[in-house]
Amino acid sequence: MKKPESDGPEQARGDAPSREEINAILNATHGDAFSVLGIHDINGSHVARCFLPGAETVEACDLDGKSLGKLKCLDEAGFFAGPVDISGFVPIRYHATRGGAEWTVTDPYSFWPVLGPMDDYYVREGSHLRLFDKLGAHQMNHQGVEGFHFAVWAPNARRVSVVGAFNGWDGRRHMMRFRRDSGVWEIFAPDVEPGQPYKFEIIGAEGKLLPLKADPFARRSELRPQTASLTAADLEQEWDDEAHREHWASVDRRREPVTIYEVHAGSWQRHDDGSFLSWDELADRLIPYCSDMGFTHIEFLPVSEYPYDPSWGYQTTGLYAPTARFGEPEGFARFVNGCHKVGIGVILDWVPAHFPTDEHGLRQFDGTSLYEHADPRQGFHPDWNTAIYNFGRTEVASFLLNNALYWGEKFHVDGLRVDAVASMLYLDYSRKHGEWVPNEYGGNENLGAVRFIQETNKAVYGNHPEMMTIAEESTAWPKVSQPVHEGGLGFGFKWNMGFMHDTLSYLAREPIYRKHHHQEITFGLLYAFAENYVLPLSHDEVVHGKGSLIAKMAGDDWQKFANLRAYYAFMWGYPGKKLLFMGQEFAQWSEWSEARGLDWNLLDYPTHEGMRRLVRDLNFTYRSKKALHARDCEPEGFEWAIVDDDDNSVFAWQRKAPGEKPIIVICNFTPVPREDYHVPLPKAGVWREILNTDAEIYGGSGKGNGGRVRADVHGHGGISATLLLPPLATIMLEPED
């Protein structure tokens, strides 16, 4: 076999390696171990060289065990070399002995590269859309041998080795090949099996040995406090979700019902001993619960690997690895598949804004500021003590973009809620004057982050039309949820943080004062259709001393429950998709903590069970009535009926959709029943009271309109009905025919 002209084992420069080269191998300082170790053509003959610490004798063999020649010990530390009887550059094995011990090692330096020139080109260009199939650790059969191919981007390193349980964590055993065109180091490690812990041992540009680094592309990790990556076979999952994915790929999500249950997987429920549920156990409990409750989607706080429980996953060190807290990655795939089989989508909180500075993570990965900016004014986040990704570096942007595609392809997730978008967009986010660096035009916009966000959204929707992206963005940045080709950021939806803050502020006020803050309810409609909004009552509102939603409500206990019931129905009748954090559906009193499960015992009390039943009914009402969801993001789907009755703190509006019966939503945000209250309606006749938050079944006082009201035409031509508005309640009306 003729030696390949490129990308094959390198030819030695002399009959034997120099003492300096041998020492460099023994000390693991050689930056090009493939030029020394492996098979080499020396003046037309083949020579094998290996480093096998602890060996006294070494014999080279082919893969079938046939002897190719005995090697000579050049250094008692374990360096051997000698001629071998082979016809070309093929994988070989070494049979080593020491005393009575024998073992066999397949030579990793006798294999050709796995990556090729086109990989180098696309990696360097930043346009590779399948990096997760090339970088990291991948099980494969290479040149007839099973093992794992390892590849990592570290362009400024002097030497990179993969170390793990399979080589005694010895950086001299698997020193990697450097691909200069891309800055990627790679090696095929034969005979390595799945489930082996590993990291990368790196000598930085200045010759300093760095802390061992976890694999940025690791698909599985050890359970904290351990921090190693784990070799993993390709994900095996028989997917039964074709109909689910085809549905979401074919519809306009803006016109579909979307009601999201936000979940922290580690604290929704726990075992009696306080340990986590596995993904399979969560599937057995959480999926039926959400299906019964009528939620269309489950949104998880980040499930990528992270070291510190109180970060809730927002400081991730392993973007490609589902956290080991809940079992193996296949368990998460089974969970998603189970959700899809009953029509529930799965959304992941995704954190491309920043990363923690743990020494095994991305910070100073190859001894330089590789993933982050070197200047702390650009590369360090003062709020969270984290590093900020350098979005302007093509390889970094590609690393993150590929991660978005990875979750869609490998785990079939239905969407990504992108965390902390505002911190990405603004260079002066949370910084004082002089603490930030303007962009090339002197502005505060992070142009690299803008391009990254736009390219990621284009790639996600282009490659996975069944997915959606949602921005957690709290500023007035324009066109967050408009297409890139129209100058937008390209997100499908944006969290409506203003709605959340204004309405919670209003409901926290004593009812007697609400008439002075009427605009906190009405103002939101001035911008309600500027973006495609999700209305979030999220985890951020029930932590860090903010208390639970029920605790935020004004008044005594009865009023608190009534306020919250009225608020939920107000929100479900308001234009926009819905999101509710776990525990708030049954009005958990205590503030949420990631360290314990929810207070499920509260469901034994009628007021809490009534709240849960209301949220369930709201979900199914919202889903079944197109008037409530089909024009969530378009102004023609909303019309005020009563907007200026601040004295009574009453609001009423119409939700509508083409060809559908309209729904009238009426809110009385005072504890005073309003008798003989006139509400204008768009149609004469009988209207059914399809929901009343004051119903006894929900824990209310039972006041209402007997299930029906009649709208009549008056002398001036207007149409209205005379109603009883229950105290601190929201009702919904629908025409009977």
CA distance 529 to 533: 8
| Helix 447-463 with 394-411: angle, nearest 10 deg | 30
DSSP code for 585: G
- Cβ distance 259 to 349 under 8 Å? no
Q: Where on the phi/psi map is residue 82: left (φ > 0), alpha (ψ -120 to 50), or beta?
A: left
Instruction: Count CB-CB contacts under 10 A for residue 204.
Output: 18
Structure tokens given for 375: 């200047």
The backbone torsions φ and ψ at residue 688, rounded to the nearest 5 degrees and listed phi first, read: -90, 140
Return the bridge partners of 149, or none. Answer: 138, 188
Using N-to-C axis directions, what is the helix angle for 279-293 and 329-341, rounded to 10°?
20
Place of tokens 């007021």: 607
Would you call 516 exposed, middle or buried from its count of C-beta atoms within 10 A (0-12, 13-18, 19+)?
exposed
Angle at CA of residue 157, ends 151 and 162, nearest 5°: 40
C-alpha distances in Å from residue 343, one per residue of 261, 268, 291, 334, 519 = 14, 21, 8, 14, 38
Task: Give the CA angle between residues 252, 258, 264 to the nearest 5°.
Answer: 135
Q: Which of 472, 473, 502, 617 is catalytic?
A: 472
Query: What is the rounded distance in angstroms from the CA atom of residue 340 to the CA atom of residue 182?
Result: 39
Report whether 530 contacts 473 (CB < 8 A). Answer: no
CB of 71 closer than 8 Å to CB of 82: yes
Cis geometry, peptide bond prior to residue 225 (ω within 30 degrees of 0)? yes
Three-class DSSP category at 292: helix
> Within 10 Å of residue 424's Cβ, how many Cβ atoms?
24
Instruction: Say if residues 680 and 737 touch (Cβ distance below 8 Å).
Output: no
Question: Active-site residue among 59, 215, 419, 585?
Answer: 419
- Work out the angle between the directed axes of helices 117-125 and 394-411 (0-180°, nearest 10): 110
How far, in Å, CA of 575 to CA of 545, rounded? 30
Under a CB-based contact definition with an 8 Å cutoff, are residues 562 and 519 in contact?
no
Residue 19 burial (CB count, 10 A):
10
Q: Alpha-carbon distance 318 to 313, whole Å?
A: 10
For residue 495, the one-letter residue type is W
State the number of CA atoms in the 13 A half-sphere of 424 facing the CB. Answer: 26
Reported in sequence order, the residue ranges of 84-183 that DSSP labels E, i.e. its strands, are 93-98, 101-106, 136-142, 145-153, 159-164, 177-179
Identify whether 472 is a catalytic site residue.
Answer: yes
SS3 sequence of 299-362: EECCCEECCCHHHCCCCCCEEEEECHHHCCHHHHHHHHHHHHHCCCEEEEEECCCEECCCCCCC
In the block, which residue shows the tokens 């812990």?
A: 197
In total, the chain counts a number of residues equal to 737
- Tokens 């590369």 -> residue: 379
Task: Give CA–CA dist 445/429, Å, rounded.
Answer: 10
- 663 within 8 A of 632, measured Cβ to Cβ: no
What residues are paired with 98 via a beta bridge?
101
- CB atoms under 10 Å from CB of 68, counted, come to 21
445 is catalytic: no
Bridge partners of residue 270, in order along the sequence: 276
C-alpha to C-alpha distance for 138 and 407, rounded to whole angstroms: 17
- Token pair of 676 as six digits: 């003989």
Residues labelled catalytic:
419, 472
